[in-house]
Structure 1
Amino acid sequence: MQFLDQLRALRRQRAEWRQAGLRVGLVPTMGNLHAGHLSLIRAASEAADRVVATVFVNPLQFGAGEDFAAYPRTLERDSDMLRDAGCDLLFAPADAEVYPRGRDQQTFVEVPGLSDQLCGASRPGHFRGVATVVAKLFNMVQPEVAIFGEKDFQQLLVIRRMVEDLNLPVEVVGAPIVREPDGLAMSSRNGYLSAAERALAPRLRASLITAAARLRSGANFAEVEQDAQSALVAAGFEPDYVSVRRRADLAEPEPDTQLGAGTAEDRALMILAAAQLGRARLIDNLACDLDVPLAELAQDLRP
């Protein structure tokens, strides 16, 4: 596996691959890798001839008081993991390589609407920082395909919308959430959890499973959301939101969907949640298609 930290060298390698007619897959990360990231590398290997992973802790997507300074930097370990997973090239640029004129003078990319709700409402500017750095990484690496985990489902839709609006020649592929045996979605921030908090953390997923079951029984959307948040508070979380949205675009479904009406898009739902537990901000989601028989959902809805 090659290790590069300069854009000029990356461009030379990319030109060689293009000349050879090789398809390139990109997996952008902020490092501190875990098995979920490695699943993205495997997905990229299946979709492309060469796989590039990036490790860059992007300052633009952290707000005031967030954990930018404390975010774990584990580049040597990450490099070993990527090499073992079959990654072809690790690009780990310095801040000055990505933002050569400084953060304040950087041109920004914004995706209106999708960026301003849910996590975007409580983390102002977060998705502007994500869209900006991903657009830059797409232009640096020039991949044919890029793989993103579905745990941050809102981020995935923001990037897809950006690619569509800016006519970028990149196929954006979502990969399934990788979970711990007890159901907790893998995250680089799970390391912030104390032993007691780690024991509580799977209740976030459990709240989504309960919410999905209630939605399928015809319960009111607002009541489902409120009851899920109340259950999280009782368990020791500080919930940011639990929200039922349309999976296609994160719009709120029409209320009459609960009565068996609504369009196909209104009935293909996603339940999204974000909650603070100690130092860790945890996010998770669960698809809930009201038109799919419950037996076919058993695998997704197991605790």
Structure 2
Amino acid sequence: MEVYHTIAEIRNFVREQKITGNSVGFVPTMGYLHQGHLTLMEEARKENDIVVVSIFVNPTQFGPDEDYGEYPRDLSRDVELATGVGVDVVFSPQTEEIYLPNSATTVEVEGLTNHLCGATREGHFTGVCTIVSKLFNIINPDRAYFGQKDAQQVLVIKRMVKDLNFDIDIVTVPIVREKDGLAISSRNKYLGQDEREAALVLYQALQIAQNLIGSGERDRDIIKQQLVERIDREPLAEIDYVDIVNQNNLEEAEEIKGEILIALAVYIGKTRLIDNLMLEVDK
């Protein structure tokens, strides 16, 4: 395992690998790794000769009142975990290495970012697209791996890759959950014992939606109302959004049919959690 902190080091490493014909899989992360991240790395390990992981808490995707300063960081722990699943290289730069002083260029994907998290976190996806495009340009991987928990992010990145002609395959890996259903997230660390129990309401609400659709319900307003009512019964929960949209364009689904995404963002105490369910629904 190697740990590089500069762009020159990681570029030289990847260039040498490609000269010898090795394929490169890339997993971008903000660190404080959990099983969800490790699953992405394991998938990358299966499909590539070399696996590169970035660990960088990207300041430009946090809003002014969000948790950039408090976001958990533990590089030595992360390196140990990444080593355990066969990662070859960790790229962990300082902010000044990535963002030049007075940098004037950003990357924005229009349309898709107007919905869900983009509607409530102004500028978030501009920060995401900018850092991911920078990392793609620096590392030049053959494949990059993203988790389905961030369903909107995956769709936005795929569109960016297509629009900007990146020669990179985007691989989506299913949500990894705890035994009780809670979607694994670095932010789960913030939850106290009561909040951890309360956080199960996201998964429980999604199960209600799945059961309603499975039993034949096709009225989106009824389904959405049931989700909202379940979340509202949890005293520690405050809804950011609950929506049922088309998987391909994130537009509100007027009918429950075809490829549907049911997406939630809920504050449990001060911690904002997201979860989603993807379904293919016959009329």
- TM-score normalised per structure 2: 0.96
Residue equivalent to 1:11: 11
Residue equivalent to 2:229: 230
Q: CA deviation at 1:48?
A: 1.1
For 2:63 and 2:224, how far apart are their aligned partners in 1?
Answer: 26
1:215 touches 1:221 (CA, 8 Å); kept in 2?
A: no
1:251 aligns with 2:242: no
Q: What is the count of residue pairs matched by the alignment?
A: 281
1:220-299 equivalences in 2 (<5 Å):
220-236=219-235, 237-253=237-253, 255=254, 257-258=255-256, 266-291=257-282
Residue equivalent to 2:35: 35
Residue equivalent to 1:201: 199
1:89 aligns with 2:80: no
CA 1:106–1:48: 2 relative to 1, 3 Å: farther
Q: CA deviation at 1:215?
A: 2.9
Gap runs ≥5 in structure 2: none
Residue 97 of structure 1 aligns with an amino acid whose one-letter code is: E
Cα-Cα RMSD: 1.3
Structure 1 runs, 4 residues or longer, greater than 2 Å off: none
Q: What do residues 111-138 of structure 1 show as CA deviations (whole Å, max 9, x unaligned)?
A: 0011111101110000000000000000
2:129 touches 2:157 (CA, 8 Å); kept in 1?
A: yes
For 1:291 and 1:2, how far apart are their aligned partners in 2?
Answer: 49
Residue 267 of structure 2 aligns with an amino acid whose one-letter code is: Q
Residue 230 of structure 1 aligns with an amino acid whose one-letter code is: E
2:243 touches 2:264 (CA, 8 Å); kept in 1?
A: yes
1:97-116 equivalences in 2 (<5 Å):
97-102=97-102, 105-116=103-114
For 1:108 and 1:221, how far apart are their aligned partners in 2?
Answer: 36
Gap runs ≥5 in structure 1: 259-265, 293-303
Q: CA deviation at 1:101?
A: 2.1
SS at match of 2:221: helix
For 2:92 and 2:98, how far apart are their aligned partners in 1?
Answer: 10
1:246 touches 1:269 (CA, 8 Å); kept in 2?
A: yes
- TM-score normalised per structure 1: 0.90
For 1:219 and 1:16, how far apart are their aligned partners in 2?
Answer: 54
Q: CA deviation at 1:205?
A: 0.7
SS at match of 1:208: helix
Residue 89 of structure 1 aligns with an amino acid whose one-letter code is: V
Residue equivalent to 1:80: 80
SS at match of 1:151: helix
Q: CA deviation at 1:287?
A: 1.4
SS at match of 2:233: helix
